Amino acid sequence: MFSIFNKKESLRLGEILQVDMHSHILPGIDDGAPDVETSMRLIDGMIAMGYKKLIATPHIISDIHPNTPETINVSKQLLQAELDRNGYTIPISYAAEYMMDENFLPLIKTGNLLTLKNNILLVETMFLELPPNIEDILFQLQTHGYQPVLAHPERYHYVDRNLVKLNAFLDRKCFLQCNALSFTGYYGKREQDIAFRLLDAGLIDYIGSDVHHDRHLEHLKKFTVSSKVAKQLESLNHNNLELH
């Protein structure tokens, strides 16, 4: 349980954040929910945590998850039909989590990218190294009117505890999104440490679940942080709310 302000009172993660802006709940199109049944189970869990709106962000990675606005829309329609059949009213929209690989530059130039809202675009990099052309990618994104949000900077192996490599993103005014589970140590001590350093430095713009499967959900349900951290998360949460 997510504890806040006083020990007798506790709030669930979704009650604080309300909008989840990073999830893999659409069925059958990436490494998230493999089928509609799993999608529904993940959505039930997010509703139980107090979330009021979910934004699905399936991966777009050219060689591994070659999704397009069309494949994502088909998956969303399949899920929405099941939601409607069962009387769910929670709004679920979709964007994507774009891998900044060698195929991303041509995609930017099409101007046909799926955003979280308005021009806000969720992007990720490979875990091991910063893309060699990162400055060009960020320049092109901004030239085309996109505001990039880097997903889970705390998880990249090239980001050390001094956060030096993140300057490539911060210098270009890229927003940062941390995963909620990073604060619990779910991904490891290093990721937890970097997440807290980012939080204390005031560098986090969004918090996402990045929920892929039941195990993530179970850990999210047990989310606990100190009241100090809860206050910090709440104070930056206006960005999540603006996506409603």
Sites of contact with Fe ion (CB under 5 A): 97, 210
Question: Residue 205 or residue 210: which is nearer to Fe ion going by CB?
Answer: 210
Question: Residue 97 or residue 101: which is nearer to Fe ion going by CB?
Answer: 97
The 3-state DSSP class for residue 151 equals strand
Question: Residue 108 or residue 210: which is nearer to Fe ion going by CB?
Answer: 210
Long-range contacts of 140-146 (CB under 8 A, 24+ apart): 140/105, 140/108, 140/109, 141/108, 142/172, 142/173, 144/108, 144/109, 144/111, 145/119, 146/108, 146/113, 146/115, 146/119, 146/120, 146/121
| Shortest Å, Cβ 69 to Fe ion | 18
The residue behind tokens 């104070």 is 235
The total of other beta-carbon atoms located within 10 Å of residue 52's CB is: 16
| Shortest Å, Cβ 32 to Fe ion | 8
Question: Residue 31 or residue 84: which is nearer to Fe ion going by CB?
Answer: 31
Question: Residue 4 or residue 57: which is nearer to Fe ion going by CB?
Answer: 57
| Shortest Å, Cβ 161 to Fe ion | 23
| Shortest Å, Cβ 147 to Fe ion | 18
CA distance 185 to 167: 24
CA distance 150 to 138: 11
Half-sphere exposure of 207 (CA within 13 A, CB side): 28
Question: Residue 20 or residue 40: which is nearer to Fe ion going by CB?
Answer: 20
Strands (E), the chain: 19-20, 53-56, 59-60, 92-94, 97-99, 120-124, 147-151, 175-179, 206-208
| Shortest Å, Cβ 210 to Fe ion | 4
| 117: nearest Cα among 82, 146, 88, 77 | 146
| Shortest Å, Cβ 129 to Fe ion | 18
